[in-house]
């Protein structure tokens, strides 16, 4: 599903040039659950942003579903992204001014789903995440675990083929964290490909395979199963 | 020590948010500058004639006359009035008459036509405060052919101010300079360079009571009640004008009044003349209180808009500062000291803005004077009130603008702040929304006002006036040529490039006017049917030269000897007379009170109505008769080489007269009539633009904050697939909604008020719905451009960065 070859990403500031990704090559197959681990600052988030087409690489190739997207412009990337990829962040990134329902509904609006259909699609997802009773609450009125479930609901409502999660349990206690991991595992079992960045060996054990990034280049793989 | 600390912290905080501080200081400074200039203007207008130390005791005596269908309100009164009032009423301490005139004054070999000349009674220096530098004010104007001149005039003619005893040749008469006074202040409703003794003017001794010629001012004794004097006027007039009315009009006062006519007198306080009086025979062109109100309102509006910006930006920023407040509170800061902290900040901004505004107003004053036609000076007298006022402004505006954020922010509970409960602070600002609506309502109101004023001025400029003012050259004071005036006209008509020429001082764009009574039958004065028209002596070329149109009958003809008793009337006169078919009807003019001698006029034609008054007034009846008035020679030219033609005409003039050759163009004379309106229009446009600019500055700041506040939200939305259009409309939507509300509020109001303003003009434009629409669209467009600048910037930002900054 995903194949990157010799991917490079630099950050230039006034004084220094940081090489965040250095000729990175890896592959993720359809239906896989992959965990990415590595020390802080080794380029995990950078990689995830590129995989999510939020950012573009400076060099190298990125093939998504047999399409080369490395040179895509912003509009094309956005189009591909909104139909295929869901995001879950460490800090949830819910919109404070919108209710739970409205937050989850948002991706459907941007993919042009009619209002009546949106209700039909949002409600089962909220149900599944067990936050249906909170549908009219605002994010600040929820606990961290609940907020992350809303975020996951939002990530899956569009039935994406790929979910990218950047430290999804980073802001949660262990019991809430486990709930989130169970949810991701369920989704994976239903066929969604998942790539997750984590610092927790415990969470990484939910995945099929761990990709260890050392300095933006070196990759070590542990097959879990 | 504590206070110093507040200032230091405030200064740092302002420095940290440079863009915020810049927008605040700039917007406020801009608003204050505009406000200050308007205040200077208004103060100047209100100070007219107050330079007179006895201003509160000086009143002008006016005359109101109604005869048949005509009403005239005069600023001038009867020749014997001043003296009689002084003799009859002990309350009247002194009285003075002024009579405007123009004259040629000889300087070396040159004859200069001077317009700012008045005949004045000797008491003028007792009533008005006109300090004399040289000469004795008590006796200066006692003798005939004495003249008192101003400093500038003395320098102009003699290069010195020690000129008492010297002579000036004025219209062929030798006048002795008996005094030099300081130049009359610009803030005087009259402005003369020469005052000639009234006794030099023989008519001043006239004892006629049915005339209005002299601007008459009385000085009351201290403590006297003008109302009491006014109450005695009817009795007074009856006593003095009764017998004359009987002999001249063959009517008793009772009969006269029974016929619906009246003849009255009243008083105008000296200090009211400039802003409240607009009568026939004013000594200068006065302004009106209306403009004072309009400008004061604009000043307040601008100040308000600027303050609102300040408040809005401060509260918008509040959520950014919430964390600071929370931390400070956790560390033990009291609410009170936080309030002081925020107020200090806002006073500092206001102080900066006020200083900039004071400097800017001083720098811009010359340009503003030019625009407003004023000579306002900022001097030590101005600072006497300006500095305290500025200080009050700093305190009041600083407090007002700073209080909302101060009290609002300081009330934050540290727990809520640190929990991030107030992160959404931007949207909750209903007060801010309300203020933005108000700001834009004012701006849209001003746009509509400007458009209507502009349309009306344009209308006046382009209106068909019933005559053609383009390409008409007027040679002034042709009467200087005496009997050769007709010869001059013939010579000019021969010149190539001259289409036509007419001799008459009665021109639509000139001051010369003359009225007399006409009756429809030969019998007694019939007040119901008599008309009191403008009666102008013209020559057969008049109508043609001025491009007027005949609507019935014929023009005068030099060949028809009977035309000496022929008249051409205007359409309004025909209407007043009630003639459906006026041609060949007769009109009668009594040559004495008993109507024993009557002159019969024969109407030969009707000329299409033409405008000769301000367009604020309706056209009144005009009767043109053949006569020999040599006031001006109007020349219709048909050449592109005007300078050459003028040189030729001047040459002809010099062949016939030694007097100074003066000319003007009719279209320029016309424009001069509307100069004050043009000025007002321009000032209005300038300040409206400023108001809108300031409002936009605020909106710009608000949009920036809105975008900044929502950076994270925009980032998330972009991650979820929103494109740039979606983001821009998301950010603009809220503002556009507010502006729509503003349009809905302000357009009916503006329509109503501007409609009322237009009622002052007898000839006016309509306010079309599209005027309002254009104003609304313009406001919307300006606001949208302002906002989009920020929205697009936000929409194009990389979402990865926005989310990371969390
Ligand atoms: N916008 C940026 N400008 C400059 N340097 C950046 C930027 N974003 C990331 N970097 C640098 O790129 C490198 C990789 O950053 P990245 O965020 O991918 O690390 P990470 O592996 O996700 O770390 P963490 O585990 O702490 O989240 C780091 O050295 C970081 O300092
Ligand atoms: Mg990271």
The ligand placed nearest to the CA atom of residue A41 is 1
The reply to whether B86 and B11 lie within a common domain is no
In angstroms, the CA A224 to CA A206 distance is 9
CA B428 to chain centre: 45
Domains and CATH numbers, chain A: 2-223 (3.40.50.300)
Residue B315 lies in a domain: yes
Measured in angstroms, the CA of B800 and the nearest CA of chain A are apart by 7
Option in B421, B722, B800 nearest A49 (CB):
B800
The string of DSSP codes covering B414-465 is HHHHHHTTTTTTTTT-HHHHHHHHHHHHHHHHHHHHHHHHHHHHHHHHHS--
CA B749 to chain centre: 23
Residue B422 lies in a domain: no
Which residue's CA lies nearest to atom 19 of ligand 1? A41
The reply to whether B519 and B654 lie within a common domain is yes
A193: three-class secondary structure by DSSP: strand
In angstroms, the CA B446 to CA B440 distance is 10
> Are the C-beta atoms of residues B501 and B493 closer than 8 Å to each other?
yes
In this prediction, residue B547 carries a pLDDT of 92
The reply to whether B621 and B696 lie within a common domain is no
The reply to whether B435 and B582 lie within a common domain is no
The reply to whether B730 and B641 lie within a common domain is no
As beta bridge partners, residue A10 has A19
In angstroms, the CA B466 to CA B765 distance is 18
The reply to whether B499 and B620 lie within a common domain is yes
Output phi, psi for B541, to 5 deg. -90, -5
pLDDT per residue as tens digits for the range B284-325: 878 888 888 888 988 888 888 888 888 878 777 766 677 677
- For residue B69, the tally of other CB atoms under 10 A from its CB is 18
In chain B, how many domains are there? 4
The reply to whether B406 and B441 lie within a common domain is no
Output phi, psi for B123, to 5 deg. -70, -5
Q: What are the start-end ranges of the E strands in B340-389?
A: none
The reply to whether B483 and B632 lie within a common domain is yes
Residue B279 lies in a domain: no
Output phi, psi for B559, to 5 deg. -75, -30
In angstroms, the CA B135 to CA B138 distance is 9
Higher pLDDT, A128 or B415: A128
Q: Which of B230, B252, B274 is the last residue of a domain?
A: B252
> Are the C-beta atoms of residues B750 and B449 closer than 8 Å to each other?
yes
pLDDT per residue as tens digits for the range A49-101: 899 988 889 999 999 999 999 888 878 888 888 889 999 988 888 888 789 99
In this prediction, residue B160 carries a pLDDT of 94
Instruction: Identify which of B202, B130, B134, B122 has the alpha carbon closest to the alpha carbon of residue B166.
Output: B134
Q: Any idea what DSSP says for residue B660?
A: P
Which residue's CA lies nearest to atom 18 of ligand 1? A43
The reply to whether B503 and B624 lie within a common domain is yes
In this prediction, residue B332 carries a pLDDT of 66
B555: three-class secondary structure by DSSP: coil
Q: What are the start-end ranges of the E strands in B530-629?
A: 534-538, 550-553, 566-570, 586-590, 598-607, 622-626
Q: How far is ligand 1, taken at its centre, from the CA of residue A36, in Å?
A: 15
- For residue B120, the tally of other CB atoms under 10 A from its CB is 27
Task: Give the pairing type, strands B262-269 and B215-220.
Answer: unpaired
Task: Give the pairing type, strands B146-150 and B173-181.
Answer: parallel
> Are the C-beta atoms of residues B148 and B225 closer than 8 Å to each other?
no
Residue B266 lies in a domain: no
Q: Which of B412, B436, B457 is the last residue of a domain?
A: B412
In this prediction, residue B523 carries a pLDDT of 65
Q: Which of A41, A50, A169, A171 to mutate to test the pocket of ligand 1 (most atoms within 8 A of CB)?
A: A41
In angstroms, the CA B637 to CA B644 distance is 12
A200: three-class secondary structure by DSSP: coil
Measured in angstroms, the CA of A79 and the nearest CA of chain B are apart by 7
Residue B278 lies in a domain: no
Residue B145 lies in a domain: yes
Nearest chain A residue to B802, by CA: A93
Query: Is A159 within 8 Å of chain B by CB?
Result: no
Domain hosting B406: range is: 1-47+285-412
The ligand placed nearest to the CA atom of residue A39 is 1
Tally the residues of chain B: 806
Residue B260 lies in a domain: no
The string of DSSP codes covering B494-529 is HSTTEEEEEE-S--TTSS---B--BBSSSSS--TTT
In angstroms, the CA B614 to CA B677 distance is 11
In angstroms, the CA A91 to CA A167 distance is 9
The reply to whether B608 and B687 lie within a common domain is no
Burial of B226 per CB tally in 10 Å (0-12, 13-18, 19+): middle
The reply to whether B131 and B194 lie within a common domain is yes
Q: What are the start-end ranges of the E strands in B700-764?
A: none
Looking from the CA of A55 toward its CB, the CA atoms found within 13 Å total 24
Q: How far is ligand 2, taken at its centre, from the CA of residue B802, in Å?
A: 14
pLDDT per residue as tens digits for the range B252-276: 888 888 888 888 999 999 999 999 9
Instruction: Identify which of B270, B247, B245, B271 has the alpha carbon closest to the alpha carbon of residue B258.
Output: B245
Residue B419 lies in a domain: no
In this prediction, residue B195 carries a pLDDT of 96
Residue A148 has pLDDT above 80, yes or no: yes
The reply to whether B477 and B450 lie within a common domain is no
Whole-complex ipTM: 0.82
In this prediction, residue B426 carries a pLDDT of 44
3-state helix, strand, coil in chain A (%, to 5): 35, 25, 35
Option in A82, A96, A140 nearest B720 (CB):
A82
Instruction: Identify which of B562, B568, B551 has the alpha carbon closest to the alpha carbon of residue B625.
Output: B568
> Are the C-beta atoms of residues B30 and B698 closer than 8 Å to each other?
no
In this prediction, residue B606 carries a pLDDT of 94
Q: Which of B386, B412, B438 is the last residue of a domain?
A: B412
Residues in chain B predicted with pLDDT less than 70, given as ranges, are: 1-2, 69, 318-320, 323, 326-327, 329-332, 413-429, 522-528, 561, 592-596, 804-806
């Amino acid at each position: 599903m995903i194949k990157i070859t010799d991917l490079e990403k630099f950050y230039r500031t006034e004084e220094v040039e940081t090489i965040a990704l250095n000729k990175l090559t890896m592959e993720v197959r359809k239906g896989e659950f992959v965990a990415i681990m590595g020390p802080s600052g080794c380029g995990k988030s950078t990689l995830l942003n590129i995989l999510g087409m939020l950012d573009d690489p400076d060099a190298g190739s990125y093939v998504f579903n047999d399409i080369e997207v490395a040179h895509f412009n912003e509009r094309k990337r956005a189009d591909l992204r909104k139909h295929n990829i869901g995001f879950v962040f460490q800090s949830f990134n819910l919109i404070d001014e919108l209710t739970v329902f409205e937050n989850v509904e948002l991706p459907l609006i941007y993919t042009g789903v009619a209002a009546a259909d949106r209700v039909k699609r949002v409600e089962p997802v909220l149900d599944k995440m067990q936050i249906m009773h909170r549908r009219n609450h605002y994010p600040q009125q929820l606990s961290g675990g609940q907020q992350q479930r809303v975020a996951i609901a939002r990530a899956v409502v569009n039935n994406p083929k790929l979910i990218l999660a950047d430290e999804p349990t980073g802001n949660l206690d262990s019991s809430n964290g486990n709930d989130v991991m169970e949810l991701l595992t369920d989704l994976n079992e239903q066929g969604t490909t998942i790539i997750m960045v984590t610092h927790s060996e415990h969470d990484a054990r939910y995945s099929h395979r761990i990709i260890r990034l050392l300095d933006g280049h070196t990759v070590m793989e542990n097959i879990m199963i | 020590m504590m206070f110093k600390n507040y200032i230091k912290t405030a200064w740092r905080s302002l420095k940290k948010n440079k863009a915020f501080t810049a927008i605040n200081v700039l917007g406020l400074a801009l608003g204050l500058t505009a406000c200050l200039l308007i205040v200077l203007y208004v103060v100047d207008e209100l100070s007219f004639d107050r330079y007179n130390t006895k201003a509160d005791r000086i009143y002008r005596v006016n005359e109101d006359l109604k005869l048949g269908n005509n009403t005239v309100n005069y600023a001038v009164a009867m020749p014997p009035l001043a003296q009689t009032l002084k003799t009859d009423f002990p309350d009247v301490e002194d009285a003075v008459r002024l009579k405007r005139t123009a004259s040629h004054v000889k300087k070396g070999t040159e004859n200069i036509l001077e317009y700012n000349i008045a005949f004045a009674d000797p008491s003028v220096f007792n009533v008005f405060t006109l300090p004399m530098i040289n000469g004795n004010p008590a006796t200066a104007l006692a003798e005939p052919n004495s003249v008192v001149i101003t400093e500038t005039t003395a320098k102009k003619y003699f290069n010195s101010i020690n000129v008492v005893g010297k002579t000036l040749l004025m219209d062929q008469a030798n006048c002795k300079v008996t005094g030099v006074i300081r130049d009359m202040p610009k803030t005087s409703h009259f402005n003369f360079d020469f005052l000639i003794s009234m006794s030099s003017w023989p008519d001043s001794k006239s004892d006629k009571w049915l005339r209005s010629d002299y601007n008459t001012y009385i000085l009351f004794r201290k403590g006297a009640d003008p109302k009491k004097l006014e109450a005695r006027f009817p009795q007074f007039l009856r006593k003095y004008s009764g017998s004359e009315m009987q002999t001249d009009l063959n009517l008793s006062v009772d009969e006269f009044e029974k016929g619906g006519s009246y003849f009255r007198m009243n008083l105008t306080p000296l200090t009211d003349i400039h802003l409240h009086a607009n009568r026939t025979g004013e000594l200068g062109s006065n302004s009106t209180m209306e403009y004072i109100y309009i400008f004061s309102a604009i000043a307040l509006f601008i100040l308000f808009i600027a303050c609102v910006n300040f408040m809005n930006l401060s509260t918008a920023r509040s959520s950014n500062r919430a964390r600071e407040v929370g931390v400070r509170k956790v560390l033990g800061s009291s609410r009170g000291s936080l309030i002081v902290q925020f107020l200090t900040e806002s006073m500092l901004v206001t102080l900066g803005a006020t200083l900039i505004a004071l400097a800017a107003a001083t720098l811009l004053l010359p340009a503003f004077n030019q625009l407003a036609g004023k000579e306002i000076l900022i001097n030590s007298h101005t600072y006497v009130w300006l500095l305290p006022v500025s200080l009050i402004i700093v305190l009041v505006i600083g407090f007002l603008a700073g209080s909302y954020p101060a009290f609002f922010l300081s009330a934050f509970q540290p727990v809520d702040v640190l929990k991030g409960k107030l992160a959404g602070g931007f949207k909750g600002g209903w007060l801010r929304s309300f203020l933005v609506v108000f700001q834009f309502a004012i701006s849209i109101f001003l746009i509509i006002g400007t458009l209507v004023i502009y349309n009306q001025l344009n209308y006046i400029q382009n209106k068909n006036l019933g005559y053609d003012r383009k390409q008409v050259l007027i040679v002034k004071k042709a009467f200087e040529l005496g009997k050769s005036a007709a010869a001059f006209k013939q010579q000019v008509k021969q010149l190539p490039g001259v289409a036509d020429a007419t001799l008459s001082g009665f021109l639509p764009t000139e001051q010369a006017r003359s009225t007399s009574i006409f009756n429809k039958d030969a019998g007694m004065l019939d007040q119901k049917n008599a008309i009191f028209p403008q009666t102008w002596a013209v020559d057969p070329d008049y109508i043609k030269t001025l491009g007027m149109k005949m609507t019935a009958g014929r023009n005068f003809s030099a060949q028809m000897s009977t035309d000496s008793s022929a008249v051409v009337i205007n359409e309004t006169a025909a209407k007043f007379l009630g003639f459906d078919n006026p041609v060949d009807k007769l009109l009668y003019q009594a040559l004495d009170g008993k109507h024993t001698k009557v002159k019969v006029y024969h109407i030969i034609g009707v000329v299409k109505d033409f405008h000769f008054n301000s367009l604020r007034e309706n056209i009144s009846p005009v009767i043109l008769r053949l006569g020999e008035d040599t006031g001006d020679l109007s020349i219709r030219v048909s050449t592109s080489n005007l300078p050459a033609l003028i040189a030729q005409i001047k040459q002809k003039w010099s062949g016939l007269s030694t007097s100074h050759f003066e000319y003007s163009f009719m279209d320029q004379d016309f424009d001069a009539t509307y100069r004050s309106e043009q000025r007002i229009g321009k000032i209005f446009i300038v300040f409206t633009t400023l108001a809108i600019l300031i409002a936009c500055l605020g909106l710009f700041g608000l949009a920036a904050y809105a975008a900044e506040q929502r950076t994270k939200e925009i980032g998330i939305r972009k991650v979820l697939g929103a494109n740039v259009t979606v983001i821009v409309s998301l950010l603009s939507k809220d503002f556009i909604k507010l502006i729509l509300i503003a349009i809905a509020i302000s357009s009916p109001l503006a329509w109503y008020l501007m409609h009322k303003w237009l009622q002052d003009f007898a000839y006016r434009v309509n306010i079309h719905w599209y005027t309002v629409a254009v104003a609304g669209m313009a406001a919307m467009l300006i606001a949208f451009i302002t906002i989009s600048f920020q929205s697009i910037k936000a929409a194009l930002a990389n979402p990865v960065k926005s989310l990371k900054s969390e």
